[in-house]
Amino acid sequence: MPQQAGWSLIVPLKPLARAKSRLVAVAAGEGRAGLVLAFAEDTVAAALACPAVRDVAVVTDDPVAGRRLARLGAQVVPDVARGGLNAALAHGAEVVRRRRGPAAVAAVGADLPALRPAELARVLAAAAAHPRAFVADAAGVGTTVLTAREEAALAPAFEGASRARHRDSGAVELALPGVESVRQDVDTGADLRRALALGVGPRTASVVRRVTVSGVSPG
């Protein structure tokens, strides 16, 4: 029986109150939580608009985020592993493949508020040529996307210097031009300024306008 086309994306999201602690200088408390949720919503909306994506599974235990992202069309997977980011991603991939059978999966950060569906489609098209592949973040240290075709284990090694770890694990680095929105994750105020310069999604832009953001403007 032929497999259905399209990638299944796995998007991990910490409980909002604990996520993105380095953004505290930009927006504190509920303002930071609102930014984190807006990043995730814009990321998931862009992913679901990508023609190469069949579905998106968000791994989270945050009830508010789960409800909001489910309304966008994401499947919500409880983070039963509770072993950190990589355990959540491995669990999400396992759940997707248990439901779908063999499936091409891609781990995508929830902090890509400038993500463009066409740029993500280019990345996934290039990734299809390799059992495992990845895209480095804009800083050249971390990873924003890790892919695994149907026959390959995802084997995520995110956090910190994950670019080197994914390369050393045998994943092929995709050095594509013109995919800045796929590479621009947001951990700091400087990252947010760069994402805003690229053009963020409507939810992030709205939250940036509402919260007190030091040195950051939605343009």
Nearest to 94 by CA among 109, 81, 110: 81
Rounded Cα–Cα distance for residues 31 and 12 (Å):
20
- Count CB atoms within 10 A of the CB of residue 125: 12
Distances from the Cα of 175 to the Cαs of 138, 140, 163, 201, in angstroms? 11, 11, 12, 24
> Is residue 143 a known part of a binding site?
yes
> Is residue 206 a known part of a binding site?
no
Annotated binding site for phosphoenolpyruvate: 143, 162
Annotated binding site: 143, 162
